[in-house]
A = this chain, B = another copy of it.
Amino acid sequence: MAQVLPDERELRRVIGDGDTIADGEVEGLGEQELVDLYRSMVVLRTYDERSVVYHRQGRIGTYAIFWNHEAMQAGSVYALDRDDWVFPSYRESAIGLLRGMPVETVLSWWRGHPSGWWNPLDYNVASICVPIGTHVPHAVGLAWGKKLRGEKTVAVAYFGDGATSEGAFHEGANFAGVMKAPAILFCNNNQWAISTPVSAQTAAETLADKAVGYGMPGVRVDGGDVLAVYEATREAVERARAGDGPTFIEALSYRAAPHATADDPSAYIDMERVEEERQNECLGRYARYLWRIGVLTDELEEQIRGEALQAMKDGIAAAEAEPSADPELVFRHAYVNPPPSLSEDLAELKRVLGNE
């Protein structure tokens, strides 16, 4: 009888603790690649921290913080080819930055400005998915459709621990298994769905256990270890490209910040635990690793951080310089061929607003 357990129930780790746990390494990642990965994480971290500030300053709207999720996002995207597709949730709102999307695009999204809507084909990054879990079947359909066309594209859907409770997740995962879709179901298990702990979300021992029911491998990885995330994703990509179908990756992490700017977690989370997690956050862990293996220097660190910060400054300036959106856009883009009533409505609105 074949093994149906998730591939690994223990968490994969590469990065040590500088003390009792030894550092590992990932084959194929040279110094250049290690620095690239670091840069990706800094870009994301900088985006996130600045966004919280911009929100406080009233320059962007409600914002879903992804502090301490950078390793999961950067590590996994780094394992993809440029042709591979990324399906983000709101928690991965800035993941497009890793594909060359301008900072102002993402900021504009959070500013409720139409220039925040991008063409997914430009980056192979799907639109941000707000309703939980509902994009899992999209990613699976894309992967399946590409496979039907004989292309080698892989699609990754990102979602949280809470998302695994939704029917849409289930239906998408099951389709992926049946269609042997080259898809990766990447679960950011940050252990909270707003105020609901993962223990109230499912009775499964691990989220990776769910993979068994879809006939796909389930992998568990330390979501704070960017190298482990990279490696696990790369293996999943290889499997997918070899025609061996989908993989479920559970990246275990901890939400060490509020759910979003509007949220006050002190009502439901033990803030001491949060503080502990903050001490062990993923960027610092990776930086210390790079220091230990002699890849990072003060100079390099400063340069990378400086560039990221500058990009944010330019980005917010560009976003704020966007001309205010044309209200007529309300009527655009819903249809290729709009029903006549919609044109009438537009004409009527223009008349009322005296713009006609």
Contact indicator per residue, chain A 191-202, by CB within 8 Å of chain B (1) or not (0): 000000000111
Asked if B200 contacts A178 (CB within 8 A), the reply is yes
Asked if B213 contacts A201 (CB within 8 A), the reply is no
Which residues in window 225-276 of A have CB below 8 A to B? 245
Contact residues in B for A167 (Cβ distance below 8 Å) = 166-168, 170-171
Contact residues in B for A177 (Cβ distance below 8 Å) = 202-204
**CB of A187 within 8 Å of the partner chain:** no
A339 and B200 alpha carbons, distance in the complex (Å) = 39
**CB of A22 within 8 Å of the partner chain:** no
**CB of A5 within 8 Å of the partner chain:** yes
Asked if B212 contacts A204 (CB within 8 A), the reply is yes
Q: How far is the CB of A330 from chain B (nearest CB, A)?
A: 32
Contact indicator per residue, chain A 7-23, by CB within 8 Å of chain B (1) or not (0): 00100000000000000
Contact residues in B for A165 (Cβ distance below 8 Å) = 171, 174
- Given known A166-B171, A204-B212, A213-B210, contact A5–B5 (CB-CB < 8 A): yes
**CB of A26 within 8 Å of the partner chain:** no
**CB of A214 within 8 Å of the partner chain:** yes
Which residues in window 144-170 of A have CB below 8 A to B? 165-170
Q: How far is the CB of A136 from chain B (nearest CB, A)?
A: 11
Asked if A2 contacts B205 (CB within 8 A), the reply is yes
**CB of A111 within 8 Å of the partner chain:** no
Asked if B166 contacts A180 (CB within 8 A), the reply is no
Contact residues in B for A169 (Cβ distance below 8 Å) = 170
Q: Which residue of B lies closest to A206 (CB)?
A: B4
Q: How far is the CB of A96 from chain B (nearest CB, A)?
A: 29
What is the interface size of chain A, counting residues whose CB is below 8 A from a CB of the partner?
Answer: 31
Asked if A213 contacts B215 (CB within 8 A), the reply is no
Contact residues in B for A170 (Cβ distance below 8 Å) = 167, 169-171
Q: Which of A168, A169, A204 counts the most B-chain CB atoms under 10 A from its CB?
A: A204
Contact residues in B for A48 (Cβ distance below 8 Å) = none
**CB of A1 within 8 Å of the partner chain:** yes
- Given known A5-B4, A209-B213, A213-B210, contact A178–B202 (CB-CB < 8 A): yes
Q: How far is the CB of A159 from chain B (nearest CB, A)?
A: 14
Q: How far is the CB of A197 from chain B (nearest CB, A)?
A: 11
Q: How far is the CB of A252 from chain B (nearest CB, A)?
A: 15
**CB of A216 within 8 Å of the partner chain:** yes
A165 and B173 alpha carbons, distance in the complex (Å) = 10
Q: Which residue of B lies closest to A179 (CB)?
A: B203
Show 16 A/B contacts (Cβ-Cβ < 8 Å), sorted by A.
A2-B205, A4-B205, A4-B209, A165-B174, A167-B170, A167-B171, A178-B200, A178-B201, A178-B202, A202-B213, A202-B214, A202-B215, A203-B245, A204-B212, A209-B212, A212-B213
- Not counting A178-B200, A204-B213, a sample of 16 additional A-B residue pairs whose C-beta atoms are within 8 angstroms of each other reads A1-B9, A2-B205, A4-B5, A4-B205, A5-B5, A165-B174, A167-B167, A167-B170, A170-B171, A174-B202, A177-B202, A177-B204, A203-B214, A204-B214, A209-B213, A210-B212
Mark A residues whose CB is within 8 Å of B.
1-2, 4-5, 9, 165-171, 174, 177-178, 180, 200-205, 209-216, 245
